[in-house]
A and B are shown apart, each in its own frame.
Chain A
Amino acid sequence: MQRLLLASLSFLALAAASPAQAASVCVYDPAGRTGFMYKMAESWAINAASWGARVELRPYTDEATAVNDFTAGSCDGVMASGVRLQRYNPATYTVEAVGGVPSYDLLKPVLSTLQTKAAYTPMFDAGEYETVGIWPLGAVYVMVRDRSLASIGALSGKRIASLDYDKASALAISRMGGVGVSADLATLGPAFNNGELDVLFLPATAYTPFELWHGLGDKGGIITTPLLQVTYQVLIHDGKFPEGFGTKSRTWVAGDFDTAMKSIKAAEAEVPAKYWVKPTDSAQTELEGFAQKLRLELRDQSKAYDGRVLSLLKKARCNADPARAECAQSLE
């Protein structure tokens, strides 16, 4: 059958005839090639050319598939959330610790310092892998269908979405006394909107794409205090990139912080002011104490968090606000 030019391209041939070997990177973005995470990856890949690497990006809209393909050796690198990559590098995942970084103002120097000071280089080394960049992806907030639930103590018995690969959220739900409901990205928006879930832990970037106003309605709310900071990390196979690539990449990614924040802040600005609920002083204290207990349990029992990084984050919090109750303690 006669074919159109485009149609008759034999792409299997193309794959075999690549003019130069490029390092492939599986890039997760739920919005695919047109999402803001993928755009960050494109910019990173262009700059990687000046660090001696030719990078070919492969978009993925499913995070588990992206990471599985990396694990299987289909890609030389992967870009995904820190929580999804925790099994490769618990130290960089710990930047996402519950209550670890309470504000974007603090997150910027934390990520910049960790990624640019030689003293912290070892935390990026993960055996045969290396984490070569951490961007912010937005604070995770507690979203509730009923704003009277806008405190930790009120969440007991409530149905809360739980991601099966996230130990921290599962433990948080358990310690809140909530009822974990297994969910994924495709189900949690509709489940919240139709009332099958009472509570979501999500970044505000999900508000518009998932049309969460249907679930928040007239009574819902979003607690302004971040539960944690989710990050976007680049993990590479050792030996697939030039010597010294990691240091150059991390330095560049640290300087790209504001690019990511532009999209995050734009998404947060789309949430109507009426939904933001500032916790009372007592609710805030309760939230901070809850987060601290959770961090310690995830460090000591679950072994999910890296104690050295928790210690650094505590120093950062206390440098920024010495009046915090935890600063008089030596638990982290």
Chain B
Amino acid sequence: MRPLPLLPALLLLTSTGCAGALNRAVKRRTIPELSQTRDLGVACAFGEVGVAAAATVSGQHSQQALSVAWTMSGLCTEEQAWEEELGSRLALAHMPEEARTPAATDARLAAERGHAEAARRYQQGYQDALVAYGGAEDCKLRSDADEGVYLLGLMAGLLAQVNDGQADGAVGIPLNQLVEVARATDCLDDARWWGIPSAARFAAWATVPGSGPTEVDPWQGLSQAAARGDAAGQGIPRALWLFTAANAGNSDLVRSILDGWPALDPAQPPQWPLLDAYARHLARHEADLLWIAAEGHRAPAPPAPPAPPAARGADPFGSTDPFGGTEPFGGTEPFGTPPDPPAPPSE
């Protein structure tokens, strides 16, 4: 992929102080490029630099650029929070008994700080998107690029509430924000955006009791949205389904969603690899949580996890012992008797 044209654009525009031009540059140049990366670290760096640069332009008029930058910057602190969250679980699993609670508590508090910062950043991204385009009643979207910025802003709105919950409400994101975002997704065409708008809507309805129409089964809706996303190579709907199931404690469904995750198809790359990469990153985090609980370590790298003992297949030797039950090497020790380990030094 080509280098992102972000910094030159931002530096040029901040030096000229033209907020409208900055918004246009971000929509026409930066987002088309940024959305093609699968490197979340690059997106995070873009966000942090972009916030600092765009804020120097008269902030009241560059909300579109700021919304994208704030949203991307949330990735940085959310990633730190996730790492600390895993650290807390690992401390409980492996530390000596007397150190478990303080070590796990420390990591948990660090995770809460990270989630709080992520919530602040995502919330800023969401608020800037609302200022630029309005909420469900307004839908002031004039172009595909506007829709892209708005979609990111709505995702940020969801993530702000999720992260604030994990930060024990440190930021004070309104608890109806999921529902507010769900309403605003009506501004976006579900097919155009690979099922993400409907997945966000169903996720909110499944999470907040009574928030959706009684005749709609949000879990079925999430499943359908995930299928739509899968067909387009876009994992965000499946990630929303996964997170909603994990949040509700439906572990069987979590396993099923992870098991059904399609492999990357080189013949059909997703249109916004950035979002798909984030979806897979979130899935990896959920898998890590499960693996630590079960095995004491994170999910291993590809190609395959250990199979369950019961699923490893029948004894390929037909349960007969080809060596006749005797020591296969004839009972002789070819290397001689090993020496005793060295004794500790005397005091």
A-side residues, CB < 8 A to B, are 1-20, 27, 30-36, 39, 42-43, 46-47, 49-50, 52, 54, 56, 58-61, 184-190, 208-211, 262-263, 266-267, 270
Pick the contact of A18: B176, B248, B284, B294 (CB < 8 A).
Answer: B294
The 9 A-B residue pairs with the shortest CB-CB distance in the complex, in nearest-first order: A13-B308, A34-B165, A14-B294, A7-B261, A59-B249, A32-B247, A11-B255, A50-B101, A186-B209
* Complex contacts, B92 vs chain A, CB 8 Å: 46, 49, 54
Q: Mark B240-275, 1 if CB is under 8 A from A, else 0.
A: 000000111101001100111111100000000000
A-B contacts, 16 listed (Cβ < 8 Å): A5-B299, A6-B258, A6-B280, A6-B287, A7-B262, A9-B259, A11-B294, A19-B295, A34-B165, A36-B165, A36-B169, A46-B88, A46-B104, A49-B104, A59-B247, A209-B176
A287 to B104, alpha carbons, bound, how many Å? 47
Main secondary structure of the interface of B (DSSP, over half): helix
A262 to B167, alpha carbons, bound, how many Å? 13
B258 touches A9 (CB 8 A): yes
Q: Mark B72-98, 1 if CB is under 8 A from A, else 0.
A: 000000000000000010001100011
**Is B179 an interface position by the 8 A CB rule?**
yes
B-side residues, CB < 8 A to A, are 88, 92-93, 97-98, 100-101, 104-105, 108, 161-162, 165-166, 168-169, 172, 174-176, 179, 207-210, 246-249, 251, 254-255, 258-264, 280, 283-284, 286-287, 290-291, 293-296, 299-311
Nearest residue, chain A, Cβ from B94: A19
Pick the contact of A36: B105, B168, B247, B259 (CB < 8 A).
Answer: B168
Task: From known contacts A4-B280, A49-B97, infer whether A61 and B210 are also in contact, taking CB-CB under 8 Å.
Answer: no
A49 to B107, alpha carbons, bound, how many Å? 15
B210 touches A187 (CB 8 A): yes
Can you name 13 extra interface pairs (CB under 8 A) apart from A17-B294, A209-B175? Answer: A7-B260, A9-B258, A12-B310, A17-B295, A18-B294, A19-B295, A34-B162, A34-B165, A39-B165, A39-B168, A43-B105, A189-B209, A270-B174
B249 touches A32 (CB 8 A): yes
Nearest residue, chain A, Cβ from B107: A46
Smallest CB separation, B74 vs chain A (Å): 16
* Complex contacts, B295 vs chain A, CB 8 Å: 14, 17, 19
B299 touches A32 (CB 8 A): no
A262 to B170, alpha carbons, bound, how many Å? 10
A14 to B284, alpha carbons, bound, how many Å? 16
Nearest residue, chain B, Cβ from A15: B294
Nearest residue, chain A, Cβ from B163: A34
* Complex contacts, B254 vs chain A, CB 8 Å: 11
A46 touches B105 (CB 8 A): yes
Smallest CB separation, B50 vs chain A (Å): 28
In the complex, number of A-B residue pairs with CB atoms less than 8 Å apart: 181
Smallest CB separation, B33 vs chain A (Å): 26
Smallest CB separation, B115 vs chain A (Å): 9
Task: From known contacts A6-B283, A54-B92, infer whether A12 and B172 are also in contact, taking CB-CB under 8 Å.
Answer: no
Pick the contact of B101: A8, A10, A14, A49 (CB < 8 A).
Answer: A49
* Complex contacts, B302 vs chain A, CB 8 Å: 4-5
A211 touches B179 (CB 8 A): yes
A127 to B172, alpha carbons, bound, how many Å? 41
Task: From known contacts A34-B162, A54-B92, infer whether A12 and B308 are also in contact, taking CB-CB under 8 Å.
Answer: yes
A6 to B246, alpha carbons, bound, how many Å? 14
* Complex contacts, B104 vs chain A, CB 8 Å: 46, 49
B248 touches A32 (CB 8 A): yes
Task: From known contacts A2-B263, A8-B305, A263-B168, infer whether A60 and B249 are also in contact, taking CB-CB under 8 Å.
Answer: yes
A61 to B165, alpha carbons, bound, how many Å? 15
B175 touches A208 (CB 8 A): yes
Nearest residue, chain A, Cβ from B213: A190
B208 touches A8 (CB 8 A): no
A33 touches B255 (CB 8 A): no
Smallest CB separation, B263 vs chain A (Å): 5
A2 to B305, alpha carbons, bound, how many Å? 13
Pick the contact of B165: A1, A31, A211 (CB < 8 A).
Answer: A31
A13 to B294, alpha carbons, bound, how many Å? 9
* Complex contacts, A15 vs chain B, CB 8 Å: 294
B209 touches A33 (CB 8 A): no
* Complex contacts, B179 vs chain A, CB 8 Å: 209, 211
A61 touches B168 (CB 8 A): no
Task: From known contacts A32-B249, A46-B88, A47-B101, infer whether A6 and B310 are also in contact, taking CB-CB under 8 Å.
Answer: no
Smallest CB separation, B76 vs chain A (Å): 20
* Complex contacts, A35 vs chain B, CB 8 Å: 165
A14 to B254, alpha carbons, bound, how many Å? 13
Nearest residue, chain B, Cβ from A26: B249
* Complex contacts, B161 vs chain A, CB 8 Å: 34
Nearest residue, chain B, Cβ from A32: B247
